[in-house]
Amino acid sequence: MILLGSTGSIGVNTLEICRRFQLPVEALVAGNNLELLQEQIDEFRPELVAIADPSRTREIDHPQVYGGPEGILRLLEESRSPLVVNALVGYAGLGPTLKAQELGRRLALANKESLVVAGAFLERGSIHPIDSEHFGLWYLLGGRPFRRLILTASGGAFRDRNPEEIRRATYAQALRHPNWSMGDKITIDSASMANKLFELLEARWLFDSPEVDALIERRSIVHALVEFVDGSTTAHLAEVDMKLPIAYALECPIEEPILPPVDLMGIGPLSFEAIDPERYPLWSLREELLTHPRLGVVLNAANEAAMEPFRRGEIDFGTMTDRILEAWRTFADREPQSLGEVFELDAEVRSYLNEN
């Protein structure tokens, strides 16, 4: 396989599955954690390697190292593996997704921004999602007609704060996730509920239905629910561990437990809560976003651009969400009709936020 984003959480778990099932790795792509990348190279012996910064390629002990976005695309072109695992973070993952599909590769996708931004223009039938919620939906559906798909959310760092406290919150406070440790961006997106909006769009494209919703389940034991047309509802329960969806996306022979089973007597009571737009103002975009899913590019670009001054401490959490909503209102009449228009709109939204 080709693994993009090998040093992140998904990448590390993917390599654990490769180790367990003795899967060969043809190529590794990483960001800036070059020390961990070198350890991975020494163990898995990939033929090709690429890193984010082309000026640092000489720091890697490997005969074939490419650098930068162009280097990643070149690596994909020169590789032979039929499977690409895209675990890159953010909009930067879209180009490799498009290249993988252009080359006819099977795509195990953890880069949610690819579907959020360009879901209308991807071959979705060849995508296997690496995401606990979408894996849960796939696991439950079994081809039966459904009425509604339901994702779950932890509620993020501010689920017990009042709206005024949330508005004044800092970047460091938003990183204090109550359930687990993740990358900075997804943790901030969890606090604002942007991440769950992205996942709604993913589900909308993957399962070809706008009937998607989300609820807060604080324990993160229930990952997804499906309401079927017959009136029944089923839920997918599993420990919080990405190796399960990864193993299925990699089509591993599942003949033994990937995770320990959920201790039903030990998990305690489970409950579900509505997502309150007063605490999560971005959630007010849910219906419009599902009605006009091609506007995912606006939400993603605004979210990434507004997060930068928040990360630098120049604005508070409330101002960040205000800027995202302002950009949405400004560009909500601009549904892209082609990939070219997606790229143009992405650049316009970022420019708007950087100048205002």
Q: Do 53 and 189 fall within a single domain?
A: no
pLDDT at 109 over 80: yes
pLDDT at position 255 is: 84
Bridge partner list, 85: 3, 108
Domain that holds residue 82: 2-130
Buried b (16+ CB within 10 A) or exposed e, 38-52: bebbeebebbbbbbb
CATH number of the CATH domain containing 81: 3.40.50.720
What is residue 22's DSSP assignment?
Answer: T
pLDDT at position 181 is: 67
Does residue 212 lie within any of the structural domains?
yes
Q: Do 107 and 176 fall within a single domain?
A: no
Q: Do 54 and 104 fall within a single domain?
A: yes
pLDDT tens-place string over residues 144-182: 999 999 999 999 989 999 999 999 999 999 998 877 667
pLDDT at position 322 is: 97
- In the numeric block, the tokens 């706008």 are attached to 210
Q: Do 225 and 124 fall within a single domain?
A: no
Q: Do 211 and 88 fall within a single domain?
A: no
Boundary of a domain, candidates 265, 291, 317: 291
Q: Do 95 and 140 fall within a single domain?
A: no
Does residue 240 lie within any of the structural domains?
yes
Lowest mean pLDDT among 19-33, 216-230, 257-271: 257-271
User: What amino acid is encoded at 303 in this protein?
Assistant: N
Boundary of a domain, candidates 259, 291, 323: 291
* Reported pTM: 0.91
pLDDT at position 239 is: 87
Does residue 188 lie within any of the structural domains?
yes
Q: Determine whether 130 is exposed, middle or buried from the number of CB atoms within 10 Å of its CB (0-12, 13-18, 19+).
A: buried
Query: End-to-end CA distance of the chain, in Å?
Result: 43
pLDDT at position 226 is: 98
Give the contacts of 48 (CB within 8 A, at least 6 positions apart).
Answer: 2, 26, 27, 28, 64, 66, 75, 78, 79
pLDDT tens-place string over residues 19-34: 999 999 999 999 999 9
Give 162's Cβ-side CA count (13 Å radius): 1
Boundary of a domain, candidates 104, 130, 156: 130
Q: Do 214 and 247 fall within a single domain?
A: yes
Does residue 9 lie within any of the structural domains?
yes
pLDDT band at 268 (very low <50, low <70, confident <90, very high): confident
Q: What is the mean pLDDT of residues 103-120?
A: 95
Q: Do 111 and 43 fall within a single domain?
A: yes
Whether 202 contacts 300, CB under 8 Å: no
Q: What is the mean pLDDT of residues 262-287?
A: 94
Does residue 335 lie within any of the structural domains?
no
Q: Do 121 and 148 fall within a single domain?
A: no
Does residue 108 lie within any of the structural domains?
yes
pLDDT band at 356 (very low <50, low <70, confident <90, very high): confident
Q: What is the mean pLDDT of residues 328-356?
A: 96
pLDDT at position 158 is: 92
Q: Do 144 and 114 fall within a single domain?
A: no
State the total domains in the chain.
2
pLDDT tens-place string over residues 71-92: 999 999 999 999 999 999 888 9
Q: Do 253 and 158 fall within a single domain?
A: yes
Give the contacts of 312 (CB within 8 A, at least 6 positions apart).
Answer: none
Q: Do 15 and 55 fall within a single domain?
A: yes
pLDDT at position 256 is: 85
Does residue 34 lie within any of the structural domains?
yes
Does residue 355 lie within any of the structural domains?
no
DSSP-derived secondary structure for 250-288 = TT----S-SSPPP-TTTS-----BPPPTTT-GGGGGHHH
Q: What is the mean pLDDT of residues 303-324?
A: 97
